[in-house]
Structure 1
Amino acid sequence: MGKVQTMRVDRLLSSMGYGSRTEMARLAKAGGIVLDGAVLADVSLRIAVTPDLPQRMRVEDEALDPVAGMVILLNKPLGMTCSHKEAGPLVYDILPARWRRRDPAISTVGRLDKQTSGLLLMTDDGALLHRIISPKRHVRKVYSARLARPLTGREGEVFASGRLMLEGEEKPLAPAQLEVVSATEALLTVTEGRYHQVRRMFAAVGNHVEALHREALGGLRLPEGMAPGAWRVLSEAEIGAIFD
């Protein structure tokens, strides 16, 4: 078991986006910070930053936000961008406004383009993010694709061959698995994350993706019935399932 980090209360709350350290001191003096059922008036106090802190601390009569190291599962809606800076609706806009000020910052684990919906992870754990997206990990991603033209029957063999080259690239794609759902619908499982990969794969076999939705990442699936735009923080067991 690793060493438990301790932090001053004002620094902790400031890093979680609640406000400046001066504002946290003012809030504490007004009785707005409660730890283990008692008002915490001295924000210079160092406390252990443990996963159970949101169950033990309240800020302005609300449970503390998850501490650093969290992973968020979002059912990304269409029309939203996985960016901090682009114009238009951003996936970060769905989260509480103060989470935009967290340090370390929350980032998306890879990206889904504006016209792709489905399972998107977001985290403030940089090491975990890089583990998930690392080509060496071969974390599988399952996409549901609706196509403009009927499948010909040869796509599965081409995608599984490990020889398909995308336009403008010099390295062939790793083998991918195609499961036909109907004449114009398929599930595609890939282990890479190249730019617009699924759309370009179908383009390479003469088809066009009209709708694309990510259903799974590793052993983690989008919960049935989860509405577009809905999100939740994952448990340790669910985070572990990513690598199953």
Structure 2
Amino acid sequence: MLVLKRLDQTLSNLGYCSRREVRYLIKNKRLRIDGELATNAAQKVDPNAVSIDGQPLEHIGNILVMLHKPLGYVCSHDSSEGPRIYDLLPTIWQARNPQVVSIGRLDKETSGLILVTDQSALVQQLTSPKHHVDKVYVVTVDQVLNSDIIEQFAQGIALESETTPCLPATLEIVDPYTAKVTLNEGKYHQVRRMFAACGYHVTALHREKFGEYILGDLPIGEWRDLL
């Protein structure tokens, strides 16, 4: 059932403007509701019926997108840390309430699939260890992989400074320097640290799958709506 909200609240939550600025949009005859000029910022509206400068509102529902994160981008809202994944998405989304966030993170030197949403419940569902959501990574290392590492990952790698070992993970050797790893945890820099514990340095890391979502042929820096 659609819950009607005030016009100013609707536009503010979707990131179009502040609630105060809605009055100026009304005054300048830029807002319409069902084709008629809006006259009251407090009027409760169906966002599907609202238009600004003749254009309907976009992404009026929840957001869930898959983004192909390039190297060098951070999953942070702090622009001081470098280029942000949010800079690759519509600018208006950064002003939404609730705010859009990434589901888990990929570090600056990791590429691949990252999910972005404004649904806090979905973030919890896909990142909570108890839900065992698989993530698949393609990993390149600095030396030839020994087949013994398959069993080491299957038993659970003990990480430095961690009191308990990682949960068992699946490792497939693709070529002498490349492996595909499937795990369902999200410890800090986990994949890199797991390989380091086995004597390898990760030179490239790429996530190609997160739960049911597969990156496929999505171009680098592009995003796809999943809802």
Q: TM-score, normalised by structure 2?
A: 0.92
Q: Which runs of 5+ in 2 are unaligned?
A: none
Corresponding residue for 1:135?
129
Paired residues of 1:9 and 1:45 also in contact (CA < 8 A):
yes
Call closer, same or farther: CA 1:229–1:182 in 2, change over 3 Å: same
What is the SS of the residue equivalent to 1:188? Answer: strand
Q: Which runs of 5+ in 1 are unaligned?
A: 236-244
Distance across 2 between alignment mates of 1:40 and 1:120 = 39
Deviations for 1:63-105, whole angstroms, at most 9, x for unmatched residues? 4121352112111110011111243211112222222221111
Corresponding residue for 2:28?
30
Deviation (angstroms), 1:48: 4.1
Deviations for 1:27-86, whole angstroms, at most 9, x for unmatched residues? 23434334445544433221246xxx3xx5432333412135211211111001111124
Distance across 1 between alignment mates of 2:194 and 2:43 = 56
Corresponding residue for 2:89?
95
Call closer, same or farther: CA 1:97–1:157 in 2, change over 3 Å: same
**CA RMSD between the two structures:** 1.8
Distance across 2 between alignment mates of 1:185 and 1:205 = 14
Instruction: Name the amino acid aligned to 1:13.
Output: L
- Work out the number of aligned pairs and report it: 226
Corresponding residue for 1:234?
226
What is the SS of the residue equivalent to 1:122? Answer: strand
Deviation (angstroms), 1:115: 0.2
What is the SS of the residue equivalent to 2:203? Answer: strand
Distance across 2 between alignment mates of 1:228 and 1:39 = 42
Q: TM-score, normalised by structure 1?
A: 0.86
Call closer, same or farther: CA 1:98–1:190 in 2, change over 3 Å: same
Corresponding residue for 2:165?
172
Distance across 1 between alignment mates of 2:33 and 2:137 = 44
Tell me, yes or no, if structure 1 residue 121 matches structure 2 residue 115. Answer: yes
- Given candidates 49, 57, 60, the residue that maps to 1:64 is 57
Percent identity over the alignment? Answer: 42
